[in-house]
Every structure is written in C-alpha cells, then in structure tokens.
Amino acid sequence: MSGSERVLVGPLKGYHHETYVFPLPDDRETGGAERRWKCREPREDLLWFDRRCFSSEEELVRALAGHVTRIPEVIDVGDIGLQGFIEGRTLGSRFKGADLIPEPLVTQIIELFAELVRVDPEKLTVRRRCVPEDRPPDGDTSGFLERLICFTEEKVYLRNEQAFAQLFGALGIDESCFRALRRNVPCMTKRPFALLHGDLHRDNFVVDAAGRLWTIDWELAMVGDPLYDLATHLHLMRYRPDQAERLTRRWCETVEDARPGSSEGWEQDLPVLLGYKRAQSVFTDVIRVALSLQASTLGAQPGFSWWSLYRAAREIQGVLAQGATPLGLTSVPTLGQVTAALKVWTRTDALLVRRGHDEA
C-alpha cells in the first residue's frame, strides 16, 4: 500500500495493536500536502482486560463521522480499513501526571463528552460483539456495572487464576474481593445510556499544531452508563485533585444540557465507579507487571534484575493500596511482602506461563 518500505514508520508504541504509519503513493503524486495513514493489526496472544462492545473500530469511527468532531478519517484500500494519522503530540507527551491540563484543552474534552451523550446508540448501525441478551436495558446502570464486574471476574481473574494463583494468594486477592465489589451494585441510580469511548487517557488525545484536540483509539468503546466514561477518564488521567473537581462539575453541567438525566445521582455513584476502576487495576496490573518480569528471568539474555523486581513491587503495592477499600482488603501487603511474592512467582509459576505459550 505504501509503495516503499522506506516510508514506513513503526511499529508504534501501543498495547492493543501493532501499528504502522505511511503515506499512500497517490497522496504523494498529487503534489499537495502529504497525508499519512495508520494500518493496525491486533497483537497476538494479547490479554484483554476490558470488555469490548463493537466488532470493528474502523466501522465505529466511520459511523461517528458527523456526530463526533476531531476523530480520524477512515478509508478503504482494498479490503483493509486505514485510519488517518493525526499529526501532532499526545497530551501525555506534553503534560505529565503532576501538570495542569490547560483550560482550552479541558474545554475540548468536555465538548467531546457532550457529543458522546448526544449519540443515539440505537441508531448506530455498527456490528456488536455481545449478544442482545447480554446487554442491559437502557438506564440499567446496576446491570451495566454488574456486567463489568463479571467480565473482570471471569475473563481476567478466573481465566488467569491457575497461572497466578500463588501470586494472587500472597497478595490477599481471592473470590471474596468480588463480593465486596458487588455491595453497591443494587443501589445505582438510573441514567440514560450513551456511547462511551472507554479509554480516554492522555495518550489517546492528540493536540495538533492549531491546538485542536483529537480523540483516537476507539477499540474499547461501548454503550452504557455515561458516568462510567467520566470515572474511567478521571482514573486514567490522574488530574490534580482541584482540576478533577472542576472538570467533574463542568461535566455534570454539560452532559445535563446535552441529554437530561445523564448526571443523575453522580455524587453517590461516581465514587462507586471509581472504586471499580481502582479494583480492576489491581487484577490487570498484577498480571501485566508480573508478566513483564519474565523478560529478565526467561528472556533471550537470562539474568535476574533486582531493579525490575523492586520497581514492579512498588507499582503493585501502589495499586493494592488504592484498590484495598473497594476490594474489601483489611490490610495491604508491605513492599517487602510484595517483593517476596513476585520473586517466588517469577521462579516458579512464570515457567508454567512460558511453557503454556510455547505449547500454544
């Protein structure tokens, strides 16, 4: 498609896909400004930690044209869908965790949320992964949260329990955590369902040369509780507390104007949804961080990395501390205990994980 390997850029950094960027030969021959496109392929043996709703990201993005501004254009080259590459810098590359996001960019984020709640999910003619029986009725926010918890329990925890049982046990994680997570499910306030991006973090926003904010990576989009999209955004963005509070107030005002009822009961339900996100991070980060240690113990250049172990233990201990309350944990392991648990796992169960992958 590119006409020459020399114009290829990639693979780009990203968890879900292997992505290459290139101009099309026809674009170069027109003599106009060169445009670049993204060709994406799901990574092999990928662990999916989030529930997905739509069968094709390109199909969804194509359907949103005219409804959501500043999203990639999608074209077909043969039977392959290409997304337009947004030239600019990600929000994460410009502003680190402790930095305030400039108000003009926050305003554009709020405008995006308004556009999302205005989209009528029933009119989205996009193929869905889930069967109709697995979709809670409009407004059933309790059913929506229950399905999220079920996904984390069945597709993340139980699916990986055999390989990580020893590590989970040493960290105090077991089936009782999910009973704790479900305590507040029946008390959720009804809100009209909307289209959710599901992954609005700093590296999924691109700022172009004109200061316009573009939203990319729609593979985790779903239909559900709009307050969940705000909770996910707050959890992933790591705003300073004062800016997070201001953004939340603006979100409530804006989505209420766009679709009345969208922020109903947010004072009680936002902490519940934030609790779920922190709990979810415990399971996903324990698995992700533990697997990353395999590179130092079973990689092409074997050798135990104490620095990698210490860094991994600090990260896991941090997410355990944040997720302790929603998971019902009475205590959080010390840094030394987490380090010891990881060390044991990398020398025993990690071997089983690698053997399983080799056999597959």
Could you report the per-residue pLDDT of 233-253, keeping only the tens digit for each?
A: 999 999 999 999 999 999 999
State the pLDDT confidence band at 355, using cuts at 50, 70 and 90: very low
pLDDT at 327: 97
Better-scored residue on pLDDT, 16 or 190: 190
Question: Which residue(s) pair with 20 in the sheet?
Answer: 39
pLDDT at 209: 95
What is the pLDDT of the chain when averaged over all its residues?
89
Task: Kindly report the three-state secondary structure assignment for every residue of 221-285.
Answer: CEEECHHHHHHHHHHHHCCCHHHHHHHHHHHHHHHHHHCCCCCCCHHHHHHHHHHHHHHHHHHHH
State the pLDDT confidence band at 301, using cuts at 50, 70 and 90: very low
286: closest CA among 171, 154, 174? 171
- The upper half-sphere exposure of residue 351, i.e. CA atoms within 13 Å in the direction of its Cβ, equals 5
State the pLDDT confidence band at 300, using cuts at 50, 70 and 90: very low
State the pLDDT confidence band at 119, using cuts at 50, 70 and 90: very high
pLDDT at 77 over 90: no
312: closest CA among 276, 350, 353? 350
pLDDT at 298 over 90: no
Q: For the chain, give every domain's residue range.
A: 47-128+190-261, 157-183+272-353
The predicted model gives 271-295 an average pLDDT of 91
pLDDT at 40: 84
State the pLDDT confidence band at 45, using cuts at 50, 70 and 90: low
pLDDT at 356: 43
For the domain made up of 47-128+190-261, the CATH class stated in words is mainly alpha
CA–CA distance, 332 with 324 (Å, rounded to integer): 7
pLDDT at 31: 53
29: closest CA among 63, 4, 46? 4
pLDDT at 359 over 50: no
pLDDT at 295 over 90: no
pLDDT at 141 over 80: yes
pLDDT at 133 over 80: yes
User: Apex CA 179: angle with CA 177 and CA 182, to 5°?
Assistant: 110
State the pLDDT confidence band at 357, using cuts at 50, 70 and 90: very low
Range in 58-67, 283-292, 323-332, 346-355 with the lowest mean pLDDT: 346-355
Paired tokens of 63: 């359907």
